[in-house]
Structure 1
């Protein structure tokens, strides 16, 4: 019997084929609608507050429910994908957030919206790790970082698209219409995914009864040279994950505590800012129809900055970059607090926040690469992101409280506090910067 051919090596030696581009585009389209639905509650928030006669702070439980659902979904749907396949896990996640978003349009009370946002969050949070794993698996290693970055850009692009739609169409279709679109469009995508999305090759070999026929059928659309009739295919099993305890041994404890703090506090600021920005702008006096444009500006700048950041990060000091970004974020928060109703300045600073508060989302994972040995990076990244998600829940929860207590100015000033805490944590980190050319994708796989 011939020696099994390594699937990853077969993919790495080929150029990206149309079949693979189709997979990447389907993954991007999924994150696009995911981003749309994730931010839907932010840019419809002011209208929901008005429709149900709520105080701005009363929106907090709904925001928390969605973020909590995303956290649980991200932690569980990946495990489901490992057991039953990434294709059915992704289809299930899309169906979940599509149906829940569509049902939100017909909710008759805030309690129903809260439950539906939690359910939608399960699907939205769960889709991202599954589709990233699928896209990375079908991409050559030399392009994996760019593929993953490109797919993830669908999240801010969807949020920006939703903000534009809300600003232009919500006066006509109402907040309910936004959720109709946010549910119906991904349901249409679900049909395409059903017919065009392949299963994970890794799953087919290791979990699906070692289905060599299915693997050969897929690889025939990627590999240009003929595969022998008796060829068999295999994958290299990744080394077992290091224990969490190892993150606190052999001199790693200081970096672990500091990195967890950076994720936690930066995600507090980022999600507090994103989730509450349209409501804060409306409270500042901006017409409700224009408030979603704040989300558009923030995400547009984030997208523009993400590509050069992802190219530059493997070549520069991530720690110094994060210090600069966090210092910029603090300055932006203070500037917004005193901008009041100078809308040109407000929108300029809000756009800059896409870099000064959101840019860290691109850089943070690279920080782990320089702070831990290779064997610990996957575990360290997973737990750091988990701490970030806890911060996201906290940020979504407290934004309304600070808006009620201190008004828009107090809200913006509050953002500087977690950013300052994150800055101090970055300063405390001791890293061995990765060699030039090391990418997050390389480190994580």
Structure 2
């Protein structure tokens, strides 16, 4: 029974309009994800300049290119449990300052070894920041807008990567490759300072960890003055296992274990697809007879579809979210298979690659919102972070998958058919999650 005058924080968020205070939280989290996208892609933008200036081979550059991926996985795995124990704001601010400082320091690297170490540290910060931004945003959203707003925030990642490409093309000829890393470092440090100064702690975290009522009241007062009328604030978790101990104990508890494994599977398979195609499509299309320029331009259509995540978020808030994202992965499997059958027709190939990019990037970008809705407060940051951390292994696997298929002399149709299977596996995993007893997303 709820005490007289006590207010449930989620009901409070649901009943009040989305205020400038919440838009500020959205803007800061969006900037973090946008800068995450910029810094993750930055090394690819400067790679040709490194080869030219330092006289190194492509093979020698491989550790530098992959170092951030390992850092991303490590950062996500470490940060989730820390966030569920120490707070969203602390981990988010520290991780943002870390990846900014390491990226800025990278601008002064004098060797590949030093650059690889700094890229690994940058990756740790990036891997920790992203899931905590998702968690913080989701915990200040009303139920009916959570998926759409979280997905909209996640659109910052492809926009940051694309924006970084345009900036790099302009900056490198004028100021050199180091300027790109310096910008990618200074901007997150400034955002991190703003987070420390103005971003509140999640009210759901404060209640879950026994935080003072006045801290919750102060945050909610910035949404509505009606918070002053509440005698107390409570949090009702309509999920089993909400009272378990650590974040890991929650996500690995019997009610959540199946859903956890299925989320990991879906995110892993999504990144297998993404990195397989991002890394290898230009070469595959060139081998299929396209000119180098056309192969690059067609492949560049693939990552443009991430902004479709806003539409998926709208659907997820109104229908069964698992079914919506599973449908996206099923369409991904069909469209990727179609890429392998369209290589002989340039116009058709461009259309199919673009469609595949829309459905694949949209489905993948929707998984963090799906995970945030699945877990209770005590395990939310850990659940989102470990899904993203485990999924990074799929990115590493995807980088090697196509090379192995080519070694086994698979043709272009066969290669895309194998990659398409990952989309089908992700779709099935989400349908299995939908049947989980803990699931009400």
Q: TM-score higher than 0.5 here?
A: yes
User: 1:393 — aligned with what?
Assistant: 396
1:273 maps onto 2:280 in alignment:
no
Task: Name stretches of at least 5 consecutive residues in structure 1 with no aligned partner.
Answer: 435-439
| Cα gap change, 1:412 to 1:194, in 2 (>3 Å) | farther
Deviation, structure 1 residue 14: 0.5
> What are the ranges of 5 or more consecutive residues in structure 2 without an aligned counterpart?
245-249
C-alpha separation in 1, matches of 2:89 and 2:429: 42
Cα distance in 2 for partners of 1:182, 1:282 equals 32
> Is 2:76–2:385's contact at 8 Å kept on the other side of the alignment?
no
Structure 1 residues 183-206: Cα deviation after superposition (integer angstroms, max 9, x where no partner): 112222223222221122233334
Looking at structure 2, the residues matched to 147 and 3 of structure 1 have their Cα atoms a distance apart, in angstroms, of: 30
1:107-130 Cα deviation digits (max 9, x unpaired): 112111211111111111111221
Seen in structure 2, the aligned counterparts of structure 1 residues 62 and 307 have a Cα distance that, compared at 3 Å, is same
Q: Secondary structure at the match of 1:138?
A: coil
Alignment of 1:188 onto 2:190 = yes
Corresponding residue SS for 2:225: coil
How far apart are the structure 2 equivalents of 1:226 and 1:363? 32
CA contact (8 A) 2:309 2:366 kept: no
Give the match for residue 335 of structure 2. Answer: 328
TM-score by length of structure 2 reads 0.77
Deviations 1:87-140 (A, max 9, x none): 121110111110111111111121112111111111111112212111111121
After superposition, residues 19-168 of structure 1 pair within 5 angstroms as 19-168=21-170
CA contact (8 A) 1:37 1:101 kept: yes
Q: Map 1:238-277 to 2 at 5 A.
A: 238-240=242-244, 241=250, 243=252, 262-274=266-278
Q: CA RMSD for the aligned pairs?
A: 4.3
Secondary structure of the corresponding residue to residue 5 of structure 1: strand
**Is this contact kept in 2: 1:42–1:275, CA < 8 A?**
no
Q: Distance in 2 between matches of 1:76 and 1:373?
A: 18
Does residue 363 of structure 2 align to residue 360 of structure 1?
yes
**More displaced 10-residue stretch of structure 1: 59-68 or 353-362:** 353-362
How many residue pairs are counted as aligned between the two chains?
418
Question: Structure 2 vs 1, CA of residues 224 and 86 (structure 1 numbering), >3 Å: closer, same or farther?
Answer: same
The CA distance in 1 between the partners of 2:341 and 2:58, in whole Å, is: 22
CA distance in 2, matches of 1:70, 1:9: 35
Contact 1:267 1:389 in 2 (8 A): yes
Question: Do the aligned partners of 1:85 and 1:199 also contact (CA within 8 Å) in 2?
Answer: yes
| 1:232 paired residue number | 232
Counterparts of 2:218 and 2:310, CA distance in 1: 34
In the TM superposition, residue 331 of structure 1 has moved relative to its aligned partner by 2.4
Cα distance change, pair 179–352 in 1 and its aligned pair in 2 (3 A): farther
Q: Tell me the CA shift for residue 28 of structure 1.
A: 0.8
**Alignment-derived partner of residue 423 in structure 1:** 424
Determine the C-alpha separation between the residues in 1 that align with 2:86 and 2:385: 21
Once residues 111 and 375 of structure 2 are traced to their aligned partners in structure 1, the CA distance between those partners, rounded to angstroms, is: 51
Q: Deviation at 1:86?
A: 1.5
Could you tell me how far 1:388 is from its partner in structure 2?
A: 2.5
